[in-house]
Amino acid sequence: MAREELTRLTGKFDGPNCDDDDCPNVYRTAGGSIVVQGDVSNAFQPPEGEALVEIPEAVLREAVRALGW
Residue 35 forms beta bridges with which residues?
A: 27
Residue 14: predicted pLDDT = 64
pTM of the model: 0.80
Residue 13: predicted pLDDT = 63
Is 68's pLDDT higher than 90? yes
Q: Report how far residue 47's alpha carbon sits from residue 13's, in angstroms, rounded to the nearest whole number.
A: 30
Residue 9: partners with Cβ closer than 8 Å, 6 or more residues away? 25, 26, 27, 28, 62, 63, 66, 67
If one counts the domains in the chain, the total is 1
List, for residues 13-41, the tens digit of each pLDDT value.
666 666 666 788 999 999 999 999 999 99
- Percentage of residues in the chain having pLDDT higher than 70: 86
What domain range includes position 63? 3-67
Residue 22: predicted pLDDT = 76
